[in-house]
Structure 1
Amino acid sequence: MRQQLIEEWNRRHASSKAEQAKLVELPGDADQQRSQLLGALQSGSAGYDVVNLDITWIPEFAESGLIRPMPEDETVDRDFINRVLRTTVWKGRAYGRPFNTDVGLLYYRPDLLKAAGIQPSRQPTRNWDWGHLNASIKTLALSPGRSDDQAGWTTQLKLYEGLTANTVEAFASVGVQLADEDGTYTASEADLKKGLDELLERAHHERILASAVSSDETSSLADFAAGRVAFLRHWPYVYGALRTLLPPDAYSVNRLPGSSVLGGQNLAVTTDSPRAGNARDLIEFLTSQESEQCLLDAGFAATRASAYNGKSRPCWPRVAAALRPGGGTPPATGAPSSAPPAQAGEGGARDQGAEARAAFTWTLSAALKEAVQRPRTPYYGAFTQVLQSHVHELLTAESPDSDKAAARLHPALRDAFQGK
């Protein structure tokens, strides 16, 4: 998708060799990419003008002087979703523009719920909370057809960033904030115990799949598709991925009860770029209404409100054509269509249809407008490693003790937020 957008930019600037852009993809996982990028920019050896940064990296790269603040006199397009736009800001200055975003959602299996006598509702209500979800999980547990390898729900509690996202969601749902906007640690030991108790409640063995403590995005999705759980906390791209795994009536999506955490990536101009003006133009193109509509159509979560309310300009025609499977013309996500749903051949995919896509788009938009950020700190790498190690130890303990865990976690987090 990103390569197609870069090629569209290059076509539109074919007469200017100086404005031709090249996409450089770094190998490795997110932590390895971050380390490579930091090293390259700090050494001055990189020829990068624009960098695509995880939203949690913005404070670190800004504090290190590796990316430029956006011009203060530049008018910010109010079409960007406000909470998503705020991920570009550090200490009152914007350091980029949101490229693609992410947010936790709750997927569910209507077929499994109906078999247990539960009638699922597609549209979430404002008072939808974990109490309602737990009631459904309890009913599922009493279903006579339930097998020993089934559970109510699953998520990503492996020792990696997915665990941080789930932990921050649990903390935020009970009003626990770990740091302020400037990265100063603000939580107390009592706050930590409150948040850890909420996470333990969600991860209770009677509710969650036992393998959740070792699950990442791939394995948790596989468990959901195999029918081992009726509910799954996951990211927006799963909605498209499920087309190839399940029949259209076997899955749906709702907002996550309580708080949901933001993910995604922002585009920023490097401090050493000799082409800062052209770099900002490229960012403006890549985050335009047309480009964001392309991203949404391709399964990403767009960063602009217009992509969700039907007021966006359509995806660049040649990009849409390049991404079109089999020569068909897929409607924009959430847009009505008179065409019948695509039928699956061997190994093919079946679309849920316009009404379901519109419901997904509405749910995604609503979730993004209410989502919370992970802590904003230049020491995010240290913070997330400390949080993950302590929380995973608690979740895998034979007799979890949140009092002792909070007592150990409190000084460790305080030091991490101070860069110690």
Structure 2
Amino acid sequence: MSRRPGRVRRAASAALLSLLLVAGCDTGGAEDAGGGQPAASGAAEVPGEIVLASGRDVTGRGGIRQQLITEWNRQQEAKGVAYRARLVELPGSADQQRSQLLGALQSGSAEYDVVNLDVTWVPEFAAAGLVQPLPDRLVDEDVIKSVAETARWGGKLYAAPFNSDVGLLFYRRDYLTSAGVTRPDLGKDAGWPVVQQLIGVLDAARNRLPAAYAKGWTSQLDASYEGLTVNGVEAFASAADGFSLTDKEGRYAGSVAELQAGLDELRNRTQAAYTLPDAVHSDEADTLTDFAAGRTAFLRHWPYAYRTLHQSLSAEQLGVAPLPGKAVLGGQNLAVARGSQRTAAALQLVAFLTGKESERCLLDAGFAATRVSAYEDGALTCTTAKPAGQAAASPTGERTDRMPRDGNGRPAYARGTLLPALENAVQRPRTPLYGAFSQTFAGQLARLQGGTPPSDAQLAADLDRQLKRALPSH
């Protein structure tokens, strides 16, 4: 099977993804989770706009993030408060957005009051003094413990978890049924050997599958961005339970033996016999496109794919399970810029956006919520967006939200699959030098994708040496 050129793949992926993604729900009301006059601060507050800089909202144009900000503004207006919030979506990839935020905050060229940081950026922005320490009350016991840990650095709270993320395994139930699998639902403890065995069954029954089917599974293995790093960390963490590449101070903590075990696990997962060849050039959009088109039966992806894929696949066709082994934690956290002239008002906005009802709204819209109550509190509902469980409709009346929901209006997989996955997820290395780590790590792992890859022993030794150069070590 020939590989499609990168630009053509990206364009095709973007086109199909834009058709799959749907906008969030309409705005209604919401409880006051931090509105009203800001608390007094050390310096006089400057009335005006609170500018929140963020990456793209995966729930679509006019999505749930904007709806929550619109609701906060409505509440401020009703109380006669002179503050309004405005969302600025940054263009480009995550790496480009990070560079934009770093440049803007370091130079003071952009008047951002609140910044939505990827969880891996928090140590870097905190150590550089670009964001302010926050009051501990913003992250209480309701926040999922593993998620709460992403918001701290050096013993201080620098951010409030806004929306989380975790690796999940999506799969085609209908393909497994067509191949003769009598129990096409993966259990919660299904490991990679089970997945690989099922791929073998699918390949043997290829004549009973759609012509589009090419290989068993795909993931984001492109080394030019964060995808290969994420897959690599998941494999390394799965190979040695409790293993971390950095300690709590951000120093390199690996060993050649541990790296070799991780490389062996990654090599096993990405064997050519199981993996779509295009995976080595694929990002999230590419893999989502390939899976939705039926080219693969298994897909490693993030929670937003649950809603997106259900726009074209039914509940009978699509299944989702915890990722075998360890899954990486992702997501974004809200931080207050050091140079903000509206710190107290910005804190009020952050408290609202990360409060219980807002988190329930984020969950209903397709994000992974950061609070346990969003998953388990039956009395908690979202009134900011269209009532949970009601499908959004296009101007022509066509139903556009086909995501299965439970009796309380949550995504059907939220309590049984998504919440446990978040609770058991592992973090990527926490270090102010994360960018250097990721570039080094992915650059070495990419050698596995070449025509003459090195042995695990050789690559482990090289990786150990390079990581010691990129990060401080003991």
TM-score computed with the length of structure 2 as normaliser:
0.79
Rate the CA distance shift 1:348–1:24 in 2: closer, same or farther, 3 A: closer
CA distance in 2, matches of 1:32, 1:399: 30
Of 149, 153, 159, which residue of structure 2 is paired with 1:90?
153
Matched, 1:21 2:85: yes
Aligned-residue offset at 1:274? 2.5
- Superposition pairs for residues 9-408 of structure 1, below 5 Å? 9-14=72-77, 15-16=79-80, 18-71=82-135, 74=137, 76-120=139-183, 122=185, 124-125=187-188, 127-145=189-207, 150-159=214-223, 160-175=225-240, 176-311=243-378, 313-317=380-384, 325-326=392-393, 350-352=402-404, 354=406, 357-408=411-462
Alpha carbons 1:289, 1:304 under 8 Å: kept? yes
Q: Which residue of 1 aligns with 2:471?
A: 417
Report if aligned partners of 1:130, 1:257 keep a CA contact under 8 Å in 2.
yes
CA distance in 2, matches of 1:58, 1:303: 16
Q: 1:397 to 1:403 in 2, by over 3 A?
A: farther
Contact between 1:100 and 1:300, CA under 8 Å: does it hold in 2? yes
- Alpha-carbon shift at residue 149 of structure 1 (Å): 5.6
Q: How far, CA to CA, are the matches of 2:350 and 2:185 in structure 1? A: 36
**What amino acid is aligned across from residue 124 of structure 1 in structure 2?**
G
TM-score by structure 1 length? 0.89
Tell me the CA shift for residue 247 of structure 1.
3.1
> Deviation digits for residues 108-128 of structure 1, max 9, x if unmatched?
101111111223454633x42
* Cα separation, 2, equivalents of 1:35 and 1:294: 30
The verdict on how the C-alpha distance between 1:60 and 1:358 changes in structure 2, with shifts beyond 3 A counting, is: same
Task: Report Cα offsets for 1:125-167 as digits up to 9, x if no partner.
Answer: 3x42112222212222222526796221111101211111111
Look up the equivalent residue of 1:100 and give its one-letter code.
Answer: N
Distance of 1:263 and 1:187 partners within structure 2: 22
- Which whole-Å deviations, capped at 9, do the CAs of 1:155-194 have from their partners, x for residues lacking one? 1101211111111000000114211122110101221111
Change (3 A) 1:146 1:403: farther
Q: In the comparison of the two structures, how many residue pairs are matched? A: 401
Tell me, in whole angstroms, the C-alpha distance in 1 between the residues paired with 2:265 and 2:471. 23
Partners of 1:349 and 1:53 in 2: CA distance: 28
SS of alignment partner, residue 178 of structure 1 = coil
The one-letter code of the counterpart of 2:65 is: R
CA contact (8 A) 1:253 1:360 kept: no
What secondary structure, in the 3-state scheme, does the structure 2 residue paired with 1:53 have? strand
Q: Does the 8 A contact of 2:219 with 2:301 survive in 1?
A: yes
CA distance in 2, matches of 1:28, 1:209: 26
Tell me, yes or no, if the aligned pair for 1:8 and 1:318 is still in contact at 8 Å: no
Whole-Å separation in 2 of the counterparts to 1:348 and 1:16: 37
- Percent identical across equivalent pairs? 50
8 Å Cα contact 2:165/2:302 also seen in 1? yes
Residue 108 of structure 1 contacts residue 251 of structure 1 at CA under 8 Å; is this kept in 2? yes
CA distance in structure 2 between the aligned counterparts of 1:149 and 1:398, rounded to whole angstroms: 28
- SS at structure 2 position matched to 1:358: coil
Give the direction of change, closer, same or farther, for the CA distance of 1:149–1:7 in structure 2 (3 Å limit).
Answer: closer
Q: Partners of 1:155 and 1:79 in 2: how far apart?
A: 32
Structure 1: segments with no counterpart, 5+ residues: 329-343
Task: Return the offset for 1:348.
Answer: 5.2
Q: Separation in 1 of the partners of 2:246 and 2:236?
A: 12
3-state SS in 2 of match to 1:257: coil
Shift of 1:204: 0.5
The answer as to whether partners of 1:83 and 1:368 remain within 8 angstroms in 2 is yes
Q: Is the 8 A contact 2:404 2:412 kept in 1?
A: no
Can you give the 5+ residue segments of structure 2 that lack an aligned partner in the other structure? 1-63
Distance 2:384 2:397 in 1: 27
Contact persistence 1:40–1:46 (CA under 8 A): yes
User: Residues 100 and 351 from structure 1, CA distance in 2 versus in 1: closer, same or farther, beyond 3 angstroms?
Assistant: closer
Residue 270 and residue 52 in structure 1: after superposition, are their counterparts in 2 closer, same or farther (change >3 A)?
Answer: same
Q: Deviations over 1:242-301 (max 9, x none)?
A: 122223311110111100001100001112222222111111100011111111111111
Q: For residue 17 of structure 1, report the CA deviation from its aligned partner.
A: 5.2
In 2, the alpha carbon distance for the partners of 1:318 and 1:257 equals 34
- Contact kept, 8 Å, 1:289 with 1:312, in 2: the verdict is no
Matched residue type, 1:232: L
- CA distance in 2 between counterparts of 1:172 and 1:359 reads 25
Q: Distance in 2 between matches of 1:386 and 1:7?
A: 41
CA contact (8 A) 1:152 1:231 kept: yes
Q: Distance in 2 between matches of 1:119 and 1:400?
A: 40
Query: 2-side partners of 1:173 and 1:235: how far apart?
Result: 18
* Secondary structure at the counterpart of residue 260 of structure 1: coil
| SS of match in other structure, 1:145 | helix
